[in-house]
Amino acid sequence: MTKEELIIENTKLEDRIKKLVCINEERRKEFAKAFDWNGNGYIDHKEPLTPSWEEIFVEVGKLLAFKSFKNNKDDISELQRVVENLNNEVFNERDEH
């Protein structure tokens, strides 16, 4: 490759990097909008913050953990209802005999 060809290729690559950086930032801003993140909760920003991917993954992880906890809590509540119903049935049968 000639020096001119390298310069042209370098310019193309720099443009591509700039576009990718913009796309990355826009995606992170979209996550911030989706989660309604606007600072630390005390200050409202007109523009959503641009969280890092690490912050996004932590928050998504928290949501998944909460969902799992909620599902487990619902499962336990359902099991408690079943046990109560069984106890009621057993005690009712005992009282009838």
pLDDT tens per residue, range 1-49: 899 999 999 999 999 999 999 999 999 999 888 888 765 544 455 666 8
Give dist(CA 69, CA 26) in Å, integer.
Answer: 31
Predicted confidence at residue 91, as pLDDT, reads: 78
Please tell me the pTM assigned to this model: 0.56
Which residues, 6 or more positions from 56, have their beta carbon under 8 angstroms from its beta carbon? 28, 31
Q: 28 near 51, Cβ under 8 Å?
A: yes
Helix (H/G/I), strand (E/B), else coil: 44: coil
How far is residue 65's CA from residue 57's CA, in Å, rounded to a whole number?
Answer: 12
